[in-house]
Amino acid sequence: MRKIWPFTFNFLLFAGIASVSPFIVLYYQGLGFAGTQIGLLTGVTPLITFFSAPLWTGLADATRRHRLMMSLAILAGVITILVFPLLNAFVPVLLIAILLNTFIAPIPPFADSATMFMLADEKEMYGRIRLGGTIGYGMAAPIAGVLVQNHGLKLAFWGCAALFLLGFIVSQKLVHGQLKADDPGGGSVRTLLTNPRWPLFLTVAFAGGIALAALNNYFFPYMKELGANE
């Protein structure tokens, strides 16, 4: 069961992401937002993640309440996702997008940390556990496309919320490790950046992230311009 629960959680998490992420820019276009507004809405995601994920995970480390923090983040994300399609003006949508990414950002790190702890001396199995997310995304995306095409873009948000809620139930089976009280390193940013190998790694990741952001955010509107349906 140490492998089944994190595998299932990854499956549900990325199935939920697949239900909405391919259609989010199309949804913004449907609301009549300009290109600059859409760029701001899509660009806010990595910026919020940069600040929110360390804040949540640091708070969990400090309080030793990892499951509670993860549960609160998931449930708050579910509520925010349900509210999202009820708004149609730019400023409210921007604010709810900021809230949504604030809540969603720490969930994958919490899940990854729990997975590594549960694998114990089998940490080389992490890649296979994470494959659950790939399978979930690959299976959910075409189903979401059919549902969105037949019933509208709002259904993408509702489907995502339902899958995240199932993920919340599964997350209660995850076991989180605790920092030792005498651990001086603790995983701080300073410890990370003083390692000479990390700046190069982060630079490569940054460059790759720019490329992926451009592709992920604008590939689907481009497909729509070519006449592709959902």
Instruction: Give the tens place of pLDDT for each residue, 87-115.
Output: 999 999 999 999 999 999 999 999 999 99
Nearest to 218 by CA among 12, 7, 14, 41: 41
Question: pLDDT grade, residue 178 (50/70/90)?
Answer: low
The answer for residues whose C-beta is within 8 angstroms of residue 102's C-beta and 6 or more apart is 48, 52
**Count of residues for the chain?**
230
Task: Using alpha carbons only, give the angle 163, 152, 47 rounded to the nearest 5 degrees.
Answer: 60
Phi-psi category of residue 92: left, alpha or beta, with phi > 0 → left and psi -120 to 50 → alpha = alpha
- pTM of the complete model: 0.86
> How far is the CA of 144 from the CAs of 43, 73, 101, 173, in angstroms?
24, 24, 21, 27
Instruction: Give mean pLDDT, residues 203-210.
Output: 85
Q: Residue 179's pLDDT is what?
A: 56
CATH of domain 4-178: 1.20.1250.20
Give the pLDDT of residue 187.
Answer: 54
State the amino acid at position 129 in one-letter form. Answer: I
Give the C-alpha distances (Å, rounded to integers) separating 20 from 4, 108, 161, 206. Answer: 25, 17, 10, 24
Cβ-contact 22, 145 below 8 angstroms = yes
The 10 Å Cβ neighbour count of residue 110 is 24
Label residue 78 by pLDDT band (50, 70, 90). Answer: very high
Report residue 185's pLDDT band, with 50, 70 and 90 as the boundaries.
very low
Q: What is the mean pLDDT of residues 6-18?
A: 96
**Structure confidence at residue 132 (pLDDT):** 95
- Chain-centre distance of CA 111, in angstroms? 11
- Residue 55 is predicted with a pLDDT of 87
| Mean pLDDT lowest among 188-192, 205-209, 225-229 | 188-192
Q: What is the average per-residue pLDDT within 112-141?
A: 93
The domains of the chain are located at: 4-178
At residue 189 the predicted structure's pLDDT band, cuts being 50, 70 and 90, is low
CA distance 56 to 156: 27
21-50: per-residue pLDDT in tens?
889 988 999 899 998 899 889 888 778 887
Q: What is the mean pLDDT of residues 160-186?
A: 81
State the chain's mean pLDDT as an integer: 88
Report how far residue 179's alpha carbon sits from residue 151's, in angstroms, rounded to the nearest whole number: 47
The distance of Cα 216 from the centroid of its chain, to the nearest Å, equals 14
